[in-house]
Amino acid sequence: MAHPQMFDDDDPVLERFRTIALSLPEAKEKVSHGRPTFFTKKVFAYFGAARKDASGEVMQHPHGILVLLDPLDAEVMLERPDSFVPMYLGPTGWIGLDVEQLSDAELRDVLADSYRNTAPAGLARLIED
């Protein structure tokens, strides 16, 4: 059974995110599990997320993003009030951030870091520090 679409394609927050994500070398977009997903050979970012709170209630983050950072960077980012450990991917090191709380420069930095951690080495070297 296919997942229902869980985003509005005309969402200006998604458009901002999409523009930055697709500016990375050979980045592509597909819909996976009802959400926009950005990848080269492997996924480097998801738009939209969910987490469980302490009571077990599922909390949706329609403008949340999921990125895979280096473990030490992820630990620092998780200290931010706009961060969260997402359902499903959290145990494998992915973290969630609310896009609306990130400047364009911060968003590009976290996307670039996640890209470097997932893209083939030749592509990862194309991203400036």
pLDDT at residue number 129: 65
Question: Which residue positions in the chain have pLDDT lower than 50?
Answer: none
Closest CA to 94 of 28, 42, 25: 42
pLDDT at residue number 128: 76
- Which CATH number among 3.90.1150.30, 3.30.390.50, 3.30.160.270, 3.40.50.720 corresponds to the domain 12-119? 3.90.1150.30
The gap from C-alpha 23 to its chain's centroid, in whole angstroms, comes to 15
> Where exactly are the structural domains of the chain?
12-119
- pLDDT tens digits, 47-78: 999 999 889 999 999 999 999 999 999 999 99
pLDDT at residue number 113: 97
> What tokens does 81 get?
């009030």
Q: Which helix (H) or strand (E) holds 95?
A: strand 94-98
pTM of the model: 0.94
